[in-house]
Structure 1
Amino acid sequence: MNGREDKKSNDLFYTCSLIEYIARKTKNKPSVITELIGRERIRFNVLFL
């Protein structure tokens, strides 16, 4: 069974949702979490995993 969205879109949505969740739990802005994780690492995970 195939989902409605392609894998890359699902991965991107999951990553953004996870960053938002962590930011809310730690009472930070999403940009702070993004900088801590690293933009290149996030980009690699979305594109290649």
Structure 2
Amino acid sequence: MNEIGLLTAVVSFTAAIVGLVTAIVTTYRDLRSRKEKNPTPHQSEKDSNNT
């Protein structure tokens, strides 16, 4: 009975870690894609000065 409880705890812990990593990666990718879509004002100033 004790082994079953330990196994359940390990599986739950592993699932929690996987979920956390997935959330972090998703947030990181979302922030990166937003940065690429919206260039910083400094970059847009450089572009307007070149014309």
Higher relative contact order (CA 8 A, sep 6+): 1
* Higher share in helix: 2
Give the TM-score of the pair, scaled to structure 1. Answer: 0.45
